[in-house]
């Protein structure tokens, strides 16, 4: 099994007996659906469905059932997409957070206090923001 160059995260995980696990079936499905739903072809298909639905209106005399079909369909799709997209967003956010934590940990002058910023309350985050704003002002002056 190839784990990467020494010192990399993959090599460190391997040395600790950790392995990169495959994603669950739900996770794989969520990622695939999120990827596909963001493509131009998906948008075109959605537009085509709406056009076909609108064109079928005169056939069904614009009755309540005709309206119920589009309302129910869009509601179900929206409901399911919220959970799929949130799942992929949570996974991506967690991965980015871990990567940033690894960078902070690996850079010697970085403050390890920054590893758990997401756990701070808003007041503490505001204090840190002010500190970094001051550092940015000093950097612009030089």
pLDDT band at residue 1 under the 50/70/90 scheme: very low
Q: Does the residue 4 lie in any domain?
A: no
Q: Taking residues 25-38, what's their average pLDDT?
A: 88
Q: Does the residue 98 lie in any domain?
A: yes
Same domain, 48 and 104: yes
Same domain, 106 and 135: no
Same domain, 58 and 123: no
Same domain, 122 and 54: no
Quick: pLDDT tens for 32-69: 988 999 899 999 999 999 999 999 999 999 999 999 99
Q: DSSP per residue over 50-116, as a string?
A: HHHHHHTTTTTTT-HHHHHHHHHHHHHHHHHHHHHHHHHHHHHHHHHHHHHHHHHHHSTTS-GGGGG
Structure tokens at 81: 């997409």
Q: pLDDT at position 2, please?
A: 41
| % of the chain exceeding 70 in pLDDT | 85
Domain that holds residue 126: 115-142
Same domain, 37 and 105: yes
The pTM of this model reads: 0.59
Cβ atoms within 10 A of the Cβ of 30, count? Answer: 22
Quick: pLDDT tens for 64-88: 999 999 999 999 999 999 998 898 8
Q: How many domains does the chain have?
A: 2
Are 52 and 69 in contact, with CB atoms under 8 Å apart? no
Same domain, 74 and 42: yes
Q: Does the residue 62 lie in any domain?
A: yes
């Amino acid at each position: 099994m190839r784990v990467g160059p020494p010192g990399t995260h993959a090599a460190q995980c391997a040395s600790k007996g950790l392995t990169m696990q495959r994603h669950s079936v739900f996770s794989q499905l969520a990622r695939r659906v999120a990827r596909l739903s963001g493509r131009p072809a998906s948008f075109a298909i959605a537009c085509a469905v709406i056009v076909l639905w609108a064109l079928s209106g005169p056939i069904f005399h614009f009755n309540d059932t005709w309206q119920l079909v589009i309302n129910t369909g869009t509601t179900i799709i929206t409901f399911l997409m919220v959970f799929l997209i949130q799942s992929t967003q949570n996974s991506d956010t967690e991965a980015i957070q871990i990567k940033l934590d690894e960078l902070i940990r690996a850079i010697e002058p970085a403050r390890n206090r920054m590893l758990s910023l997401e756990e701070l309350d808003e007041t503490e985050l505001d204090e840190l923001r002010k500190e970094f704003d001051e550092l940015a002002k000093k950097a612009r002056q030089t």
